[in-house]
Amino acid sequence: MVVSVEELLIGKLSALLDRAAARDAWDVANLQPAARDAMGSPRFRPYFIAMAATLTHPPSEYSESRLARLVTDRAVEEQLTPMLASAKAKAAGDLVRRSWAVVGPLVNLTDREQEFHAAIGRGDLRLELLFDSRSEDAAALSTHPALLWKLMNVRQHVAKRQARTDT
């Protein structure tokens, strides 16, 4: 199975939010035109918001200041520069600004997107908050292994927490 440009891009953006490594900032700051075009499609944002449920925290809890704390000039020099074939890495501040300009708008959630992530935190997959009822994306995401794995883990955690409060 080949992944779509959107799914590959969501992986890159999620890695930037989650790991906040210099290489992730480089990847996002230097997206290819096809990836930038994909981000402009109407289906991209709801798909990203849904898949961002697999992150440790809701998207709105990630910030540019966290990214700046982790993507330092030292991290760029030690972790990114050796990986680059020819280009010299930009300064950390530039990478942070350029990569956050791409991902930052995606972490400002609407009320419905916030409600979707709150539902995930309870172990509920409420794709209707992001997609209309006829959406093929919603149907596909309802069986996506990464989302199902997240839901299973959240439900187990909720059940353990509930069991502790019941005793």
Q: Where do the structural domains in the chain lie, given as residue ranges?
A: 5-166
* pLDDT for 11: 96
* pLDDT for 41: 93
Q: Is the pLDDT of residue 90 over 80?
A: no
The CA-based angle 35-39-42, given to 5 degrees, is 140
Q: Is the pLDDT of residue 51 over 90?
A: yes
What CA–CA distance (Å, rounded) separates 16 from 19?
A: 6
Instruction: Write out pLDDT tens, residues 6-49.
Output: 999 999 999 999 999 999 999 999 999 999 999 999 999 999 99
Question: Is the Cβ–Cβ distance between 9 and 32 less than 8 Å?
Answer: no
Per-residue confidence band for 1, with pLDDT thresholds at 50, 70 and 90 = low
Task: Please compute the mean of the pLDDT values over residues 126-153 and round it to a whole number.
Answer: 94
What CA–CA distance (Å, rounded) separates 39 from 74?
A: 30
Per-residue confidence band for 3, with pLDDT thresholds at 50, 70 and 90 = confident
